[in-house]
Chain A
Amino acid sequence: MATKEYPVVWLQGAGCTGCSISVLNAVSPRIQNLLLDEVVPGHHLNMLFNATIMAGEGEAVIEVLKDTETERKGGYILVVEGAIPTAADGLYGSIGERGGRHLTIEQSVAELGANALVAIAIGTCAAYGGIPAGKPNPTQCKGVKELFDEKGIDTLVVNLPGCPVHPDWFTGTVSVIMFSGLDAVKLDNVGRPELFYGRLIHENCPRRADFDKGRFAEKLGDQGCLYKLGCKGHYTNADCPIRQWNNGVSWCIKAGSPCLGCVEPEFPDGMSPIYEIVTFEDLK
Chain B
Amino acid sequence: MSKTIKIDPLTRIEGHMAIEALVDDGVVKEARSAGTLFRGFEIILQGRDPRDANRLTQRICGVCPTSHATASALCIDDAFGLTNKIPDNAKLIRALILGANFLQSHILHFYHLAAPDYVDAAGAVGAVSPFVPRYEGDYRISGQANAELVNHYVEALDIRRKCQEMLSVFGGKMPHNVSTVPGGVTEKPTEDKITNFLWRLNEIRDFVDNVYIPDVIYVANSYDDYLGIGKGCGKVLTYGGFDLPTGRFFKAGVVSEDLKLEPFVSENITEDLKYSWYADSGSGRNPAEGQTEPKLDKKQAYSFLKSPRYNGKVVELGPLARMISNYVQNDAGTKKLVDSLLGQLGVGTDALFSVLGRHAARALEAKIIADAMADWLQILKPAEPVIVANEVPAEGTGAGLTEAPRGSLGHWMTIKDRKIERYQVITPTAWNASPKDDKDQPGAVEQALMGTKVKDRDNPFELVRIVRAFDPCLACSVHLLDANKNASGVFKVV
Query: Which of A52-60, A168-176, A208-216 binds B?
Result: A52-60
Contact flags B382-393 to A (C-beta < 8 A → 1, else 0): 000111010000
Which residues of the other chain, A, contact B40 by a CB distance below 8 angstroms?
132, 138-139
Which residues of the other chain, B, contact A58 by a CB distance below 8 angstroms?
6-10
Q: A16-B62, A136-B44, A220-B183 are in contact. Are A95 and B9 (CB under 8 A)?
A: yes
Question: Contacting B131 at CB < 8 Å: which of A52, A55, A93, A135?
Answer: A55
Q: A163 to B59, alpha carbons, bound, how many Å? A: 8
Query: Which of A43-51, A146-154, A184-192, A194-202 binds B?
Result: A43-51
Which residues of the other chain, A, contact B442 by a CB distance below 8 angstroms?
none
Q: A96-B9, A255-B173, A268-B56 are in contact. Are A274 and B49 (CB under 8 A)?
A: yes
Contact flags B470-492 to A (C-beta < 8 A → 1, else 0): 00000100000111000000110
* A73 CB within 8 Å of chain B: no
Q: A219 to B390, alpha carbons, bound, how many Å? A: 9
* A94 CB within 8 Å of chain B: yes
Which residues of the other chain, A, contact B59 by a CB distance below 8 angstroms?
16, 18, 130-131, 163
A97 touching B493 by the CB < 8 A rule? yes
* A235 CB within 8 Å of chain B: no
Contact flags B153-177 to A (C-beta < 8 A → 1, else 0): 0100110110011011111111110
Q: A22 to B15, alpha carbons, bound, how many Å? A: 15
Majority-rule SS of B interface residues: loop
Q: A16-B475, A55-B133, A250-B169 are in contact. Are A93 and B37 (CB under 8 A)?
A: yes
Which residues of the other chain, A, contact B60 by a CB distance below 8 angstroms?
16
* B121 CB within 8 Å of chain A: yes
A 101-134 contacts with B by CB, 8 A: 101-102, 130-132, 134
Q: Nearest chain-A residue to B153 (Cβ)?
A: A32
Q: How many residues of B contact A (CB 8 A)?
A: 84
Which residues of the other chain, B, contact A255 by a CB distance below 8 angstroms?
168, 170-173, 178-179, 186-187
Q: Nearest chain-A residue to B36 (Cβ)?
A: A94
Q: A30 to B157, alpha carbons, bound, how many Å? A: 9
Tally of contacts, chain A with chain B, CB under 8 A? 257
B 162-205 contacts with A by CB, 8 A: 164-165, 167-176, 178-179, 181, 183-184, 186-188
* A156 CB within 8 Å of chain B: no
B129 touching A274 by the CB < 8 A rule? no
* A275 CB within 8 Å of chain B: yes
B175 touching A54 by the CB < 8 A rule? no
* A249 CB within 8 Å of chain B: yes
Which residues of the other chain, B, contact A50 by a CB distance below 8 angstroms?
130
Q: A220 to B9, alpha carbons, bound, how many Å? A: 43
Which residues of the other chain, A, contact B157 by a CB distance below 8 angstroms?
24, 30-32
B7 touching A221 by the CB < 8 A rule? no
* A19 CB within 8 Å of chain B: yes
* B65 CB within 8 Å of chain A: yes
B39 touching A138 by the CB < 8 A rule? yes
Question: Contacting A163 at CB < 8 Å: which of B167, B176, B181?
Answer: B176
* B267 CB within 8 Å of chain A: no
Which residues of the other chain, A, contact B63 by a CB distance below 8 angstroms?
16-18, 21
* A238 CB within 8 Å of chain B: no
* B454 CB within 8 Å of chain A: no
Contact flags B239-272 to A (C-beta < 8 A → 1, else 0): 0000000000000000000000000000000000
Which residues of the other chain, B, contact A245 by a CB distance below 8 angstroms?
168, 172-174
B 346-379 contacts with A by CB, 8 A: none
* B141 CB within 8 Å of chain A: no
Which residues of the other chain, A, contact B160 by a CB distance below 8 angstroms?
24
* A265 CB within 8 Å of chain B: no
A251 touching B172 by the CB < 8 A rule? yes
* Those 7 A-B pairs whose CB atoms lie nearest each other, nearest first: A18-B62, A255-B172, A138-B40, A257-B178, A256-B186, A55-B134, A273-B49
B binding-site residues for A, Cβ under 8 Å: 6-12, 14-16, 18, 36-41, 43-44, 47-49, 51-52, 55-56, 59-63, 65, 108, 112-113, 116, 121-122, 125, 128-135, 154, 157-158, 160-161, 164-165, 167-176, 178-179, 181, 183-184, 186-188, 385-387, 389, 464, 475, 481-483, 490-491, 493
A-B contact pairs, 24 of them (CB 8 A): A17-B62, A52-B12, A54-B11, A56-B132, A58-B10, A91-B482, A92-B38, A92-B39, A94-B36, A95-B36, A97-B8, A102-B36, A102-B482, A102-B493, A131-B59, A136-B44, A138-B44, A139-B38, A220-B186, A245-B174, A252-B173, A256-B179, A272-B49, A275-B51
